[in-house]
A and B are shown apart, each in its own frame.
Chain A
Amino acid sequence: MSRRKIRFKINGVEKTVEVEPNKTLLWLIREELKLKGTKKACERGDCGLCTVLLNGEPVKSCLVLAVEVDGSDILTVEGLAKNGELAPIQRAFIEHGATQCGFCTPAFLIVGHWLINRNPNPSREEVVEAINGLLCRCTGYKPIIDAILEAAKYMRRT
C-alpha cells in the first residue's frame, strides 16, 4: 500500500502530510494532527459527531478518505474562535447552556456555524433540517436549536 503525499489547509494553516490510502479524514484530524475536538463515535456515518467543513460544506469525516482531501480546505471546531475571541455560534451555545455531556457539541457548532453563515435568518425548521444528521444522546436538542437561532441573531447584528 503506497503512501501518498497530500497538501491541504486546516483551520487556515497549510499542511503537507504523507498518508496511507486506508486512513480516513477523521484519523488525519485526530491522530496525525492531534486535533481532538472532532469526535470519533460510530464511524459509519450515523451519528455525525465527526462532522467538519470540507471546502465549506459539512461532511462526516469518518466517511472521507484522507487521500481525498488533497488540495482541500478544512475547518474543525478548533478553527472557529479567532484571535482568542469566540465565534458567534460558540457564544450562543454558552448563553443557552446548549451542552450537556459535551461530546456532540463540536459537530453541532460546526453545522450551526455553517448554517448561519449561509443563511443568517434561518427558520426553526431549517435549523432542524440542518442538524438532522447529528445525534445528541443527552436529548438536548431544544437548547441547541435555540442557540443556533440566537447565533444567527448575533450574525445579523454585526
Chain B
Amino acid sequence: MLPKFEYYSPTSLSEALDLLEKYGEDAKIIAGGTDLLVSMRDRILKPKCLIDIKKIPELRRIEYKEGVGLTIGAAVTFKDILEYPNLEKKYRVLWEAVKTIGDMILRNRATLVGNICNASPAADSAPALLILDARARIINKNDGVREVPLERFFIGVKKTILKPTEIVKEVFVPEPPANCYGKYVKVMRVQSEDLAVVGVAGLAYRDRGDLIIRLAYSSVAPTPIRVKEVEEVFKKKNMSLDEKIEEAVKISSEKVSPISDVRGSAEYRLNIVKVATRRLLKELVEAV
C-alpha cells in the first residue's frame, strides 16, 4: 500500500510548473514510476502530491537532428529510445546502456530522464550520457531554461542540483564525434535483470589522427563519474599504447570509491574496475 497523495495529470508544461511552484518539496514528478513508487512503498518518500507528466506532449518528444544532436523529453521511455531509428548505430554506447536497464517490461514505462533524476550511483544510462557530453535542460515557472552538463548535475547518492520547483524538461545529447566507437560494459551477478556490480562506458575516436578516449563509470562511486584524467593519458606522446592502457587502469582504479553491498565487496568491485577497464580499453583502441 502506498502513502496518501493528491494526483495531478497536467496537459501542458506551464500547468505542471504552476503545480511545482505551489507544492515545492511536497510534490514529486511521476513519469514511469518504476523507481518512485518503490521508494513510496518503502516510505523513503512521502510526497503530498504527484504530478504525472505523461500527458504533456512536448515532454514525450524524442528527436535526432543530423549534425546537432538528440533531444530526449522527460516522459520518453527507454522503449522509445531503443526503437528510435538509427540510434542503435549513431549513439551505440547509449543504446547499449539503455538495453541493459531492468527488463523489457520495465523499459516500457521507465524513462531516461527519470533514471538521471533518481540519481542512483548505479544509473546505467549515466556513464554513456557523461562521455557523450549530455546536458540536462532544466526549467521552473519563473526563469527560462538553464542547461547543465550532466557532470555537474549529480552531487551525491540520489542527490542532484535540481531545486524543488524545477523539472528536467529534456536531456540533450550532442552529435557524437565522427566515426567514434562506443561500448557499455555492465558487470552483473546474474545474466538477467539486476543492477551493475560495475558499469563502465567507453568512447574512442580519432581527432586529426590523434586517439581520443573517454571513460565513465556507474556503481563504483557516490555518483556516476567520468574519469577525465584518463583522457589526458591517451594524449601523451612518449608512451606506448600498452603503457597508456595500464596507466589508465591505474588512474581509474584510484578515482573510483566503491562500497561493499549485497552485490559485491569494495575490493571485488575495485578488481572488476581494473579488469573491465583494461578489456574495454583494448577493444576501444583496436576499433578506431
Contacts and interface: CB of A to CB of B under 8 A. Distances in A.
Contacts of A48: 103, 105
A155 B194 CA distance: 33
A2 B102 CA distance: 33
A111 B105 contact: yes
Interface residues of A, number: 30
Contact of B7 (A21, A43, A51, A134): A21
B274 interface: no
A130 to B, nearest CB: 6
B286 interface: no
A78 interface: no
Contacts of A58: 104-105, 108
A113 interface: no
A67 B7 contact: yes
B4 A1 contact: yes
A67 B34 CA distance: 16
Contacts of B84: none
A7 B3 CA distance: 23
Contacts of B103: 48, 132-133
B37 interface: yes
A133 B34 contact: no
A133 B108 CA distance: 12
B105 A59 contact: yes
B52 interface: yes
A44 interface: yes
Interface string B85-124: 0000000000000000011111011000000000000000
Nearest to B36: A63
A45 interface: yes
B207 interface: no
A83 B219 CA distance: 51
Interface string B46-58: 0000101010000
B266 to A, nearest CB: 25
Contacts of B54: 68
Contact of B105 (A20, A23, A133): A133
A113 to B, nearest CB: 13
Given A58-B108, A59-B108, A68-B54, A133 B193 contact: yes
Nearest to B103: A133
A44 B104 contact: no
A21 B105 contact: no
A44 B38 contact: yes
A23 B7 CA distance: 11
Given A21-B7, A65-B7, A132-B104, 20 more contacts: A1-B4, A1-B6, A2-B6, A21-B5, A21-B50, A22-B1, A22-B5, A43-B41, A44-B38, A48-B103, A57-B79, A57-B108, A59-B105, A65-B37, A65-B50, A68-B33, A132-B103, A132-B193, A133-B104, A133-B105
